[in-house]
Amino acid sequence: MPDSTPSPSMHSLRAGYSALVLGASGAIGQAFVTHLQADPRCASVTALSRQGKPGFDLRDPTSLEQLGLALAEQGPFQLVLDATGALMLNGHRPEKRLDDLNAQGLLDAMTVNAIGPALLLKQLLPRLASGERVIWAKLSARVGSIADNRKGGWYGYRASKAALNMLLQTAAIEIVRRRPLAVIAALQPGTVRSALSQPFVGEQALDPLESASRLLRVLDGLEPTGRAQFVDHAGEAIPW
């Protein structure tokens, strides 16, 4: 790991906290795992991905149920980071115009970016610790902000991230009734160099380790509000 990207320590969580990273095979997911493994306050990091064991498929609700069962004896977790999601599906680039829309593409985006993560939350919420500060954070995207949409385009990705944000906000209102110390966050990681973003970004993109480090620091500083918080890697709030 470059010296310029030190691993943050999650001081807001109790010493010996346990972390779960979903989507750990992606660029940011891998970076989260690297940082958490270097945090002396973190007792364990469980890293899961579609290819891992146990694996899961966001398009297959049965596999998500099986994942919940497989993790029944693990945890409880004080930190869950969901780094799943996809920009291009089945080789299709984001739509630029209404003429580019097709039903299957929109359904795929909703399934992978909104429905699948919501079902993951449903299945794994019982593994989130109670009676103490906990964090559930999900990678979202600034383009999912309805208020911030100034350029248009990217119909399916924008709509699926907006749907994700609504699902997360609705879940947060329910979660904090039993876990009032819970922090629920939708995260904008910045433009990060990854397989997902490679066709669309240049050298100005953030290194995944840098993005993940910033996001962990932001999460460490968030206070429970009784609602989900939509924030970027610099800690700035994003309008829903």
Rounded CA separation 53/224 (Å)? 33
* Domain presence at residue 6: no
The set of residues, in sequence order, having a beta carbon less than 8 Å from that of 27 and lying 6+ positions away, is 192, 193, 194, 195, 196, 208
Range of the domain at 158: 17-232
* Domain presence at residue 191: yes
pLDDT score of 202: 58
- Per-residue pLDDT tens over the stretch 112-146: 999 999 999 999 999 999 999 999 999 999 999 99
Q: What is the mean pLDDT of residues 81-92?
A: 90
pLDDT score of 75: 85
Least confident range from 59-63, 132-136, 150-154, 196-200: namely: 196-200
pLDDT score of 51: 86
pLDDT score of 199: 60
* Domain presence at residue 128: yes
* Domain presence at residue 129: yes
Percent of the chain with pLDDT over 90: 85
Rounded CA separation 234/218 (Å)? 7
Q: What's the burial of 134, exposed, middle or buried (CB within 10 Å: 0-12/13-18/19+)?
A: buried
What is the number of domains present in the chain?
Answer: 1
Q: What is the mean pLDDT of residues 10-29?
A: 97
Rounded CA separation 111/117 (Å)? 8
